[in-house]
Amino acid sequence: MRIINKFFRLVLVLFMISIISFFLANISSIDSAETIGHHLYGNPSQEQIENIRIEKGLDKPAPIQYIKWLQHALVGDLGISYQTSNPVLSEIKDKLFATVKLVIVSLFFIAVITIPLSLVSAYKKDTLIDKSIQVITILGISVPSFWLGYVLLSIFAIKLPIFKVVEYGNFRSLILPAATLAAPVISSSVKILRTTLLENSEQEYVTYARARGLSYKRILYAHILKNSLPPMITLFFQNIGMMIAGSVIVENVFSWPGLGAYFMSAIVNRDTPAITGCMLILGMIFVISNYVSESINHFLNPHIFTIEEDN
């Protein structure tokens, strides 16, 4: 019963996202008929604009336009891009692949950096090393992604030309944008995992293990870390949706040809179908990743949900 309720909640949320995506893209001052006219004719007459408005159904009330758009969206038709005259869904698929590659490398950085830093910080609690890590994580959370991206570009692509300013197609081209995208997530994850490690170190099983003569370092690696990872796994999957949705700024800083850059280009060029499609897909990714995260948390901690249902 719980699974069915969650599924219907997911469908309802996705439906609301479709409504918000459509109306946010269409209540702006953008005249879609005029935009199409400029792409087709360069300098269209008022008569040509009105003909386009009637042909595309843009003269109909907004609810009617939404129902028609939703009918097409349900069969995978998100419309035709004003910029390129290509199907929006096809372009989103191509751009999403580049964004997913970027996010995968970012997640790799998160996994290999978060755990060691958290362990060192917890093991060296209240020492200079721990305080230094805490300062770095605070900076990582506070610094805007666009500023960090420009700093990395200026250092590693201009002053120390290890990377090219604009590069795409190999693994090296992924490093700087992936590091920029991962930095705030690493910082927040280190703080959370460190706190969880220290909380678990106060549990009775740690006292029992110390009484058996095991060193704190061994207990930390073998027992405390194991019990601290489940909430981090949940957070890991939550971050996937956040990073894909938040890639807009990073991709534009590094001229990365992903979904974020495509979304920004659509906004600049007043490409309403592309704007609506991007908002819908990004919203769906965010919601579904949170749904997967909640399901994993339910699998790892079934007793928590059992208590909630009893209450």
For residues 32 and 56, the answer to whether their CB atoms sit within 8 Å is yes
For residues 13 and 287, the answer to whether their CB atoms sit within 8 Å is yes
Query: What tens digit of pLDDT does each residue of 45-56 get?
Result: 888 888 888 887
User: Which amino acid is present at 175?
Assistant: I
Rg (CA), the chain: 24
Note the pLDDT of residue 3: 65
Query: What tens digit of pLDDT does each residue of 94-142 get?
Result: 999 999 999 999 999 998 999 999 999 988 888 999 999 999 999 999 9
Query: What tens digit of pLDDT does each residue of 42-91 get?
Result: 788 888 888 888 887 877 888 888 899 899 999 889 988 888 889 999 99
209/219 Cα distance (integer angstroms): 7
Domains and CATH numbers, the chain: 2-73 (no CATH), 96-310 (1.10.3720.10)
> 280: how many CB neighbours lie within 10 A of its CB?
23
User: Which amino acid is present at 125?
Assistant: K
Tell which phi-psi region holds residue 45, choosing left (phi > 0), alpha (psi between -120 and 50) or beta: beta
pLDDT-derived band at 243, boundaries 50, 70, 90: confident
Asked if the model's pLDDT at residue 166 lies above 70, the reply is no
What is the token pair recorded at 141? 């959370």
Asked if the model's pLDDT at residue 311 lies above 60, the reply is no
For residues 304 and 292, the answer to whether their CB atoms sit within 8 Å is no
One-character DSSP codes across 8-28: HHHHHHHHHHHHHHHHHHHSS
Q: What is the pTM assigned to this prediction?
A: 0.81
